Amino acid sequence: PSRRRTSDPYVVGLGSATYGSLVRRLLGGSLAGPTLLVGAGQLAETILPFLDTGEVLVWNRSRERAEAMMSRQREAQTAGRVTLLPATPEAEAQAWQRARDVILCIPADAARDAERVRWWRSQPRQGRVLHLGIDSAAGTVWQQLPDLATLKDLFGLRDTQAVQREQLLARARKACADKAQLARLDDT
């Protein structure tokens, strides 16, 4: 009788990366200092739970939409750590001044982006800006930020992790096959 072998399609998908885990990795894992999350759509909602190592400031142009996003979060994860900011340009500007890292989960906005870049560049920083609303900074005001990460960087990290995972699985399969071969030789 043929034995059912665990084949690749069942194993390959294990441990796949989420947007939140990739964002955290791009920003350095442990988020020191306030992190500003701009946006309250589905992408921001999936990232927020992964920003669990420090203070998070959430700003969105629609307070109602931001409140709705916050209501779907686990209170134990957000209480005392996540601050929903007023939906005013002044509140956003102040948050950019305080933040160590900024994650934009909104589309590019030529009218506002120059202002955001200016806010970021107004003082020395150790953190990063991650703009998930653009594929690349080329040809945009964002190219003024040398450490900017975009969707392209996020997907590059995902692809690198996938290759590493495949290599580990290949080594594990070979080790299992070698062990099975040794067991068969031992039986004879």
Give the pLDDT confidence score for residue 119 in this predicted structure: 95
Share of the chain above pLDDT 90, in %: 44
pLDDT at 154: 85
Q: Which of 32-46, 87-101, 143-157 has the lowest mean pLDDT?
A: 143-157
Residue 115: closest CA among 130, 94, 133 = 94
How confident is the model over 90-134, as pLDDT tens digits? 999 999 999 999 999 999 998 899 999 999 999 888 889 999 999
- What is the per-residue pLDDT across 7-34, written as a single tens digit (0 to 9) for each? 333 333 444 467 788 888 878 756 677 9
pLDDT given at position 104: 96
pLDDT of residue 9: 30
Q: Please report which helix (H) or strand (E) contains residue 28, including its range.
A: none
- With 0-12 / 13-18 / 19 or more C-beta atoms within 10 angstroms meaning exposed / middle / buried, residue 103 is buried
The pLDDT value recorded for residue 87 is: 96
- Contact, 155 vs 129, CB < 8 A? no
HSE-CB at 187 with a 13 A cutoff on CA atoms is 6
Q: 81 φ, ψ to 5°?
A: -120, -35
